[in-house]
Amino acid sequence: MTAAESSKRPPLISVVMPAYNEEDTLGITFQRLEQTFADTSCEWELILVNDGSEDRTLQQATSYRPTTFRMVVVDLSRHFGKEAALSAGLRAASGDAVIPLDADLQDPPELLLEMIARWEKGAEVVVAKRSDRISDSWGKRVSARLFYRTFNMISDIHIPENVGDFRLMDRAVVDTINDLPENRRFMKGLFAWAGFRTEEMEYVRPARAAGQTKFNAFRLMGLAVEGVTSFSTAPLRLVTYVGGSVAIAAILYGTFIVMRTLVFGIDLPGFASVVSLVAFLSGIQLLGLGVVGEYVGRTYIESKSRPPYVIRKVYRSDAE
């Protein structure tokens, strides 16, 4: 295709949708997408990544016949997690702009049109920022606020608060992320690291259309640790500072004991204070080993160069 022909054709928009056990929501999601895509001049493709679902998600996706978009179903060989599934979808997407979208309809498909309008005016990234998190539990809201503020305080990059994976990215942005060699991926951090001209648009995130969230407290905590260790060495520095402070305190305390012994003689040391001090120092050492272990573990996993996902099969269907 010549440059002139390319400039005349409507833009192709790729929607990337990781899905894990979403059989209760897919039918509704497909209907909302059909309605959204119906009255636009863009060409659309849906990249649905089946992340090892154990229900009928794959069967529903492969049997669906879209009318306003073409669909590519990427079936992973097992459950690799949302970050890996999103990476697979970005690599499979061929659009001029790419939009990650959750299958549970907490990311309203209708907002895609506003994102595209801003992209056509020059924005290279359009992020959707939640104006409130009323659909989340109190604990999730507090932990999310704590994570964003801690991450932005210790990291060299800035992640906008209350911004998830729901965003539009220009082809150049997607190519940059796909070219990154790392396998353990914290996608919010990679999106922020890539940079480019970014605009924010606020929206109210609704509750899930059906089904239940797949993220529990432990998985969210693991994702937070993954993000911090991927983009900051501040925990290692903190361990160094804490270790140095404890060592200085121990030297000063030892000097005090020696001076007191020289002046007042030897007295019977307290058993409770010795046990408390040993327990405290042991806790500091174990904490330091744990932090170092997180970084060593990441280095070990990355050194194997295993791919972040394995594709079993790719299914394609065009709009009727």
- Whether residue 177 is found in the same domain as residue 295: no
Taking the model in full, what pTM does it have? 0.68
How many domains does the chain fold into?
2
Distance separating alpha carbons of residues 111 and 106, to the nearest angstrom: 11
Residues 274 and 199 in one domain: no
> 1 pLDDT exceeds 50?
no
The pLDDT of residue 46 is: 92
The CATH number for 37's domain is 3.90.550.10
Full domain range(s) for residue 312: 3-219+307-317
Q: Are residues 22 and 89 in the same domain?
A: yes
Please check whether residue 10 lies inside any domain of the structure: yes
Q: Are residues 195 and 268 in the same domain?
A: no
pLDDT > 70: percent of the chain? 69
Q: Which residues contact 187 (CB under 8 A, 6 or more apart)?
A: 83, 86, 87, 165
Based on the domain organization, do 200 and 62 belong to the same domain? yes
Question: Rounded to an integer, what distance in angstroms lies between the CA atom of residue 234 and that of residue 285?
Answer: 17
For 254-290, write each residue's pLDDT tens digit: 677 667 666 666 555 555 566 566 766 766 777 777 7
CA-wise closest residue to 203 among 173, 169, 170, 166: 166
Identify the weakest region by mean pLDDT among 104-108, 161-165, 214-218, 274-278.
214-218
Q: Does 274 share its domain with 311?
A: no
Q: 222 vs 211, which has greater pLDDT?
A: 222
**Same structural domain, 49 and 181:** yes
Both 135 and 149 in one domain: the answer is yes
Residue 228 lies in a domain: no
- Please check whether residue 276 lies inside any domain of the structure: yes
The per-residue pLDDT for 76 is: 92
Which DSSP state fits 16? E
Model confidence pLDDT, tens digit, residues 110-166: 888 888 888 888 888 888 887 766 666 666 666 667 776 776 676 677 777 777 788
**Residue 319 reports pLDDT greater than 80:** no
Confidence of residue 236 (pLDDT cuts 50, 70, 90): low
**Are both 109 and 178 inside the same structural domain?**
yes
pLDDT, tens digit, for every residue of 30-82?
Answer: 888 888 888 788 888 999 999 888 888 888 888 888 888 888 999 998 888 88
Beta strands 43-50; 12-19: pairing state: parallel
Whether 241 maps to a domain, the answer reads yes
Contact 11, 117 (CB under 8 A): no
179 and 260 fall within a common domain: no
| pLDDT for the residue numbered 48 | 93
